[in-house]
A and B are shown apart, each in its own frame.
Chain A
Amino acid sequence: MARYSILSLARNALTGHRDWPELWRSPEPKPAYDVVIVGGGGHGLATAYYLAKEHGVTDVAVVEKGWLAGGNIARNTTIIRSNYLWDESAAIYEHGLKLWEGLSRELNFNVMLRQRGVMNLAHTEHDVRESIRRVNANRLNGVDAEWLDAEGVKAFCPTISISPDVRYPVLGATLQRRGGVARHDAVAWGYARGADARGVDIVQHCEVTGIRQVRGRVTGVETSRGFIGARKVALVAAGHSSVLAEMAGLRLPVESHPLQAMVSEPLKPVLDCVVMSNAVHVYISQSDKGELVLGAGIDSFNSYGQRGGLHVLEDQLAALMQLFPAFSRARLLRSWGGIVDVCPDASPIVSKTPVEGLYINCGWGTGGFKATPSSGWTFAHTIARDEPHKLNAPFALDRFTSGALIDEHGAAAVAH
């Protein structure tokens, strides 16, 4: 892998930047691999990277039915934080945030992490109590968290309205200063480049159509480009997880829904933090290009359509107008949808399955982007060792049978 540096920049400037190497190869799939990862999104690529780097497993293919990083990694609102309520969640998301903090250096690729601070607003007495409870829980788990009253919110984010003359006035907020945003494409590309350099084959436009098993053990995947043998198969397909699991005869506690987002025209710098509100329900940040990036809740119905209803966008814009009346003149550029795989407890599944050699990583729902590093890191461990790391052991598929759910509907901050 050609390392990026000030020297390589200067060297390539001399040749007019025409000779930069490709970030990854596009090999034909081999007949068989140790591990086939199904899904070339952020989590799949991170899994491949950590398999190669942390566990020395390099005979790996990532097969992707579309193009690399064209799904949810390209469609999210890039918010990163780790302020979840329960110990299990705080541990896995905080591990992820620590990985984020070193990621640009580790990958030699600028993921443009901007730790601007994430505020989760409280609008009712109940919100206030829950928020302070979460701040306390976060601190006990070593996650940075602060409680701000309404004046504190205004001081941290002068653009916001804390007027009491609205139905749901801002009463305060939790603040995680280490939270922020990153450049979503760069994360996928950086992991892909790093995995490729360690020998991982990234095979795009290769749709898995079947999972072959012999006596309860995985032997490979049928694809649109022929059979690919594998000792281990790892499913990381977000919204399409149920479709893949069914190929292996598994039912999942997951439902797929559209989650929409949108951006405004680029504006001068006006918002230098991330603001999220459960109660009036919108989340917003400003991208480096100046666009306001907005999102909120899922569309209610099951869908694989990567689009949703306009009324869902209208609801979040109404919320935005209450919080930021100044943005009423901003014009929207575009909106889009992604398909998120939602679990009943709003927590993910990073797990072995009843089929030997088959692993699944899904159910990240509306909040998977922030978890990209820790999802890949723990899933790689699970695949390489054939047992979960202690960070993802609580996120096993069998928690729905044992009843040990991890209810994060509050901290997920997105209505489902």
Chain B
Amino acid sequence: MMRIECPWCGGRDETEFHYGGEAHIARPEDPDALSDEAWADYLFMRANPRGVHAERWMHAQGCRQWFNVLRHTASHEVVAVYPMGAPRPDHPETAA
């Protein structure tokens, strides 16, 4: 089981959290203006790296706040926790 550092409540077990998938996917401002390919890319295509992954978590059984996490998808190591809306922090090991 992973331990995740909630920015508000501190370190808790993974079971308290809800996973929200890849972070930083912004809904297009004007979907009608997009090509089918661009819309499919927004809806369905995902980075899915083997390496450091930027992803969203929510502290479902605590403060119920969403936040972003950089986590390694092979080691499961959490390397950074940062607020929603903040840019992805620099990390030496970029996404594979």
Where the two chains meet, the residues of A that have a C-beta atom closer than 8 Å to any C-beta of B are 240, 242-243, 246, 251-256, 300-305, 309-311, 344, 400-402
Contacts and interface: CB of A to CB of B under 8 A. Distances in A.
Contacts of A344: 43-44
B41 interface: yes
Nearest to B1: A309
A253 B74 contact: no
Contacts of B73: 256, 302-305
A400 B19 contact: no
B15 A301 contact: no
B27 interface: no
A402 B35 CA distance: 11
Contacts of B39: 401
Nearest to A240: B50
A303 B19 contact: no
Given A242-B46, A302-B55, A310 B76 contact: no
Contacts of A253: 40, 44-46
Nearest to B41: A251
B36 A251 contact: no
B48 interface: yes
15 contacts: A240-B50, A252-B46, A253-B45, A254-B46, A254-B48, A300-B19, A301-B19, A301-B71, A305-B73, A305-B76, A309-B2, A309-B14, A309-B15, A400-B45, A401-B36
A391 B21 CA distance: 32
Contacts of A251: 41, 45-47
B15 A256 contact: no
Interface string B50-92: 1001010000000000000001011110000000000000000
A302 B15 CA distance: 15
Contacts of B76: 303, 305
Nearest first, the 4 closest Cβ-Cβ pairs linking A and B are A253-B44, A242-B48, A300-B19, A251-B45
Contacts of A311: 1, 14-15
B28 to A, nearest CB: 15
A302 B22 CA distance: 9
Contacts of A246: 49, 96
B48 A256 contact: yes
